[in-house]
Amino acid sequence: MDVTGAEYGKGFELTDHNGQVRHLGDFAGKVVVMFFGYTQCPDVCPTSMAELAGIKKALGKDGDRLQGLFVSIDPQRDTPEVLKGYMANFDPTFLALSAPPDKLAELAKDYKIYYKKVEGKTPNSYTMDHSAGSYVYDTKGQLRLFSRYGSDPKGLTEDIRILLRQAS
């Protein structure tokens, strides 16, 4: 879905799984695909990240110009160590980002992301309901696309190729 010119999702200040503070501008020159999720998600999150890793491979040499970002909506369980291990399952260049709960709430509002803790049988067995989709930024850091979960990865691959060509 084309969201060019949207008045939301214009940037962020988040900490990556290596402890480094990151901003959207850090990835200038790359197409950025940003997904909100949590590491204990049983299906949507790992599927989305695996598809993004597949897209990066499908891009060939242009895959170096794609930055995958995973923003945790579960700061209670998604520690930097957990996030680092999770990202290693997909692509070594992808980064997991996190924020304290109050900052996460602000970020979610800015990105129009829904998330809610759903209590489980034990205090740590909860799940998280959440929006499922990826935000795609062009190489200049402009929000251009929203890709819904379940969309054909081939379409997103082609959209990213177009954004990369526009930057050349």
Render pLDDT for 125-136 as a digit per residue (tens, 0 to 9): 999 999 999 999
Say how many CA atoms lie within 13 Å of 36 toward its Cβ: 28
Q: CA 150 → CA 11, 115, 132, distances in Å?
A: 25, 18, 9
At 76 the pLDDT is 93
Q: Which two tokens stand for residue 127?
A: 């799940």
pLDDT at 168 > cutoff 90: no
With a CB cutoff of 8 Å and minimum separation 6, the contacts of 28 are 139, 140, 141
pTM of the predicted structure, to 2 decimals: 0.94
Q: Which residue type does 78 have? A: D
Alpha carbon distance 132, 51 (integer Å): 13
What's the mean pLDDT in 46-62?
96
pLDDT at 74 > cutoff 80: yes
pLDDT at 1 > cutoff 80: yes
Return mean pLDDT, the chain: 94
pLDDT at 56 > cutoff 90: yes
What's the mean pLDDT in 41-62?
95
At 83 the pLDDT is 97
**Eight-class DSSP state of 102:** H
Alpha carbon distance 41, 100 (integer Å): 19
